[in-house]
Chain A
Amino acid sequence: MKLAGSISTVKRGVTHALFGLTLLAGASGLLRLLDHERNTVARAEQLAYLPKGEYLRLAALGYRQVVADLIWLQAVQHIGAKRDTQLGYRWTYHAVDVLTDLDPTFVAPYQATGIFLGVLVGRHEEGLAILSKGIRRNPTIWQLPFLAGYISYYELCNPVAGAQYLQIAAQVSGAPAYLSRLAARMTVESGDPTAALEFLDRFSRTVTDERVREALMQRMKEIVQEKDLHFLEDSIRRYQAKYGRAPVKLEDLMLHGVVQQLPVDPLGGQYQIDSLTGAVSSSSKRERLRIHEKVACHVGGGDSRPQTWSNPLPVLQ
């Protein structure tokens, strides 16, 4: 009798446990489906619904920094994402704007968002806006005006604004001495890719995070590639002027003494020529960098590189 009672209790327990486990499995399955449904845009939308910083400041009570940290963690997911949407970028800007209202001295978001929006995805105005806010709130951090200077100078082709930002950076106590020289150079060499490379190299040396440095390095390689393509196009034009036709392959440039050496694609691809049009492209990148147009605002151009500074890529690769 007693044994039958115990068996019945065990049976009831097992039934309850199985029922609970079935429900848990069901909930997990539903969650998986929901995860699948939520695409990048939906995740980015979370950032769009953030209230303005001035209101969130009140709601966060004495925990503003932590709330800012949590928003930053969300925003970072978009900054780190390989594929994102323009809408997602806008909301990332909004999120960083809000979190820097909560914690104005949190320097990393200004810097990383400045690089991300202003340099990597081509939303220069937003990148500059967030950097300007950072400069106002953190006048002792020279890296912020330095980066704003780079964006103005190279990405926006505005050497006057670039030089002004660099002057601000140079005036910060503890700023490197080369800033004043760069500012002076900027005013005469607008859009020079070599100067852009120097900027990025100098800047990447001050960045502590490996991922940000990698992103900057990638950008530097893209600029070097663009510079190579520009150089090859220039050489092809000279070849055409001399022989009245475009070369069949790039090696012809070397064989006919137009160039001494063919550049190597820093992104690991091969430079190719369309013998009909004379256009040059790289197998590593389908679309040419936007800075192609930026090079148009370059006054000096050519292959000249200043003696005082050499391309850091071979060393850093």
Chain B
Amino acid sequence: MGAIGVIALNAFRESLRDKILYNLVLFAGLLIGLSVLLADLTITEHHKMIADMGLAAINLIGVIIAIFIGISLVNKEIERRTIYTIMARPISRTFFILGKYCGLVLTLFVNLSIMLAVFLVTLWLYHVPIALSLFQAVQLIFVEILVVTAIALFFSTFSSSTLSAILTLGIYVIGHLTADLRSIAANSESGVMKTMVDVLYYLCPNLEMLNIKGQAAVGILVAPEYLMLASLYGMVYAGVLLSGACLVFQQRDF
């Protein structure tokens, strides 16, 4: 196993020790509890609402874990001073960052898989049809989580945990608004404004492109080409952020 694999496995074990998977109990309780409530409260289409709630819970919990673990991955090593021991070994800083990232991605993948399983069981219990579109939505949620993790890791290489969390959350919010901002700016008279918003549009991640929860909940499939392109976009963007994180981390003094 290469250096990246060792660091990744270590980061995965560490997050398990931090009892990250406990959130799954919260998820299961939340989802099943809400489903019971919804089945009784709503007029028609409680199937759609259960699917909506489940996908939103998977997404939200995934993003929260990505942000809060992503920002602490590097900072924890620095605060505990274990970074010096690692840096003293023949491991490049790039491998260290990539290893940490892969470890967190593995944690999130396990987390997401269990949440998906709980979600599917809930759907089955409430006789909600399990459409292929739900799997498509979860795939893009995972890609979104990859991007958010990369954003958190990037900020954590040069700022404190609190600041990294705020910045990541900020980018997450902007990432869901760029398309709307662009359509608002399209009505503006000012060319400068349009150019600025255009620059912002291409610079910031467009996370709305990875959001197909609405149509997935009602069973509408997206084209495989779209799914592939959106996944590729997310991974390329995460790659850009990881390159940036490696570059910044190279410059730091340890």
Contact A112 B43 (CB under 8 A): yes
Contact partners of B214 in chain A: CB under 8 A: 64-65, 103, 105
Q: Is B215 an interface residue (CB 8 A)?
A: yes
Nearest CB of A to B156, in Å: 22
Complex contact A108–B177 (CB within 8 A):
no
In the assembled complex, B218 has its CB within 8 A of some CB on chain A: yes
State how many angstroms separate the Cβ of A115 from the closest Cβ of chain B: 9
Give the nearest-CB partner of B217 in chain A.
Answer: A65
B44 within 8 A of A: yes
CA gap between A69 and B48 in the complex, in Å = 9
Among B64-72, B160-168, B205-213, the stretch that binds chain A is B205-213
- Cβ-neighbour of B44 out of A63, A103, A112 (below 8 A): A112
> Is B56 interfacial (CB-CB < 8 Å)?
yes
Instruction: Tell me whether A160 is interfacial, beta carbon within 8 Å.
Output: no
In the complex, A111 has a CB within 8 A of chain B: yes
Contacts A62-B59, A105-B215; is A208 near B49 (CB within 8 Å)? no
CB distance from A205 to the nearest CB of B (A): 14
Q: Report the count of interface residues on B (CB-CB < 8 A).
A: 27
A12 and B44 alpha carbons, distance in the complex (Å): 54
Interface members, chain B 146-178 (any A CB < 8 Å): 172-173, 176-177
B168-190 near A? 1/0 per residue, CB < 8 Å: 00001100110010000000000
Q: Is A211 an interface residue (CB 8 A)?
A: yes
Residues from 59 to 82 in B contacting A, C-beta threshold 8 Å: 59-60
Contact of A62 with B211 at beta-carbon distance under 8 Å, contacts A69-B52, A105-B218 already known: yes
A73 to B37, CA, bound (A): 10
Q: Are B59 and A108 in contact (CB under 8 A)?
A: no
Asked if B251 is at the interface (CB within 8 A of a chain A CB), the reply is: no
**Judging by beta carbons under 8 Å apart, are B176 and A61 in contact?**
yes
| B53 contact set on A, CB distance < 8 A | 66, 69
B223 interface residue, CB < 8 Å from A? Answer: no
A-B contact pairs, 20 of them (CB 8 A): A61-B173, A62-B207, A62-B208, A62-B213, A63-B59, A65-B52, A65-B214, A66-B52, A66-B56, A69-B38, A69-B52, A72-B42, A73-B41, A76-B41, A76-B42, A79-B43, A80-B43, A103-B214, A108-B44, A108-B48
B interface with A by C-beta (< 8 Å): 38, 41-45, 48-49, 52-53, 56, 59-60, 144, 172-173, 176-177, 180, 207-208, 211, 213-215, 217-218
